[in-house]
Each structure stands twice: as structure tokens, then as C-alpha cells.
Amino acid sequence: MFVTMILGVLEPRSGTVTLVNAGHLPAVQLAPGGAERRYAAHGPPLGILPGVKYTAETFSLREGALYLFTDGVTEAEVLGHELGIDGLVRLLRLVHGDTLERRLHAVLERVRPREGSPRDDLTLMVVDWHAGRERAGDETADAGRTGGARRHA
């Protein structure tokens, strides 16, 4: 048995993230201008090899939002073709200026099958940071839905 995993720790005051990727798809960071950075796995999935030491990467969310996703998203068929990581990044660039909730909905609307159930899970998460400020018009800034996450980030 094995499992892929991304473990991230966010320092909420500075926006610094420390990330470890164990065999999972790369996390993608998109800057407001569209520049991207991918954080690939630095080791196999957990449970494959005993005693593996994983390398952590540290970076700032000041440089852009971080997107994490499962292979159900990248393997989804969009217009008759598998979306892939590059296709997902192109799609994320189109909606990158929207609110977090709108970004998630826009991607999921395109990757969900029109009929029936998805072949795999469809999981997409976005982590954004605004130097402790709420963004006007961002539905996810509602304290009733995010207050606990903010306190424990």
C-alpha cells in the first residue's frame, strides 16, 4: 500500500509556506501576471521505500496563489481530450483574477462530466494570502466559514 501526499505549513503572518511533496502531482503557484512555478515531488509516495527522507521547499504566497489538485482533475476529459497539468494551468490563468470560490467553481464546471459520475475524485484546493487583509468581494472571507481555518493555519 502507498499514498501520495503534499504536506504544507503556512505561516499566516508572513505568507511563507513550507511544502513537502511525496509522490503527488506538483502543486502550482500562479502569480497575478500569470507566471507559474511548480513544486514537484522530491521522493516517492509514502509506503514505497522505507526510510526515505523528503526535501521541503519554502516559498512565499506573496508571489501568487497556490493550487493543489488530484489526478481526477488532470485526467478529466475536456472537449474530448484529457485536461492534463498544462491544460489545468491554462484554465487557472483564465480565472486567476476571480474570487477563490469562483475560481474553484469555474474549474470544476469544466472537468465534471456532463452525464453520470466522474471516473475519479475531483479535488482542487487554492491557498491565497493577502497580508492579513480581507479582499473585497471574496466570498471565502466570510468569518463564519473560514474563521476556524484562519485561527489554526
Task: List, as one string, the DSSP characters of 33-84.
Answer: TS-EEEE--SSPPBTSSTT--PPEEEEEGGG-EEEEE-HHHHTSEETTEE-H
Full-prediction pTM beyond 0.85? no
Q: Which residue has the higher pLDDT, 149 or 74?
A: 74
- Report the chain's terminal Cα–Cα distance, integer Å: 30
Question: What are 92-133's pLDDT values in tens digits?
Answer: 999 988 898 999 999 988 887 666 665 667 889 999 997 655
What integer is the mean pLDDT of 78-89? 90
**Residue 149 banded pLDDT, cuts 50, 70, 90:** very low
Sign of CA dihedral 106, 24, 27, 6: positive
Is residue 145 scored above 60 in pLDDT?
no
d(CA 44, CA 27): 15
Kindly state which CATH superfamily the domain 5-144 is placed in: PPM-type phosphatase domain (3.60.40.10)
Q: Sort strands 27-30 and 65-69 into parallel, antiparallel or unpaired.
A: antiparallel
d(CA 126, CA 38): 14
Please say whether the beta carbons of 21 and 42 come within 8 A: yes
Is 95 buried (19+), middle (13-18) or exposed (0-12) by CB count in 10 A?
middle
DSSP SS3 for 92: helix
Question: What are 40-74's pLDDT values in tens digits?
Answer: 999 999 999 999 999 999 999 999 999 999 998 99
List of residues 6+ apart from 147 with CB closer than 8 A: none
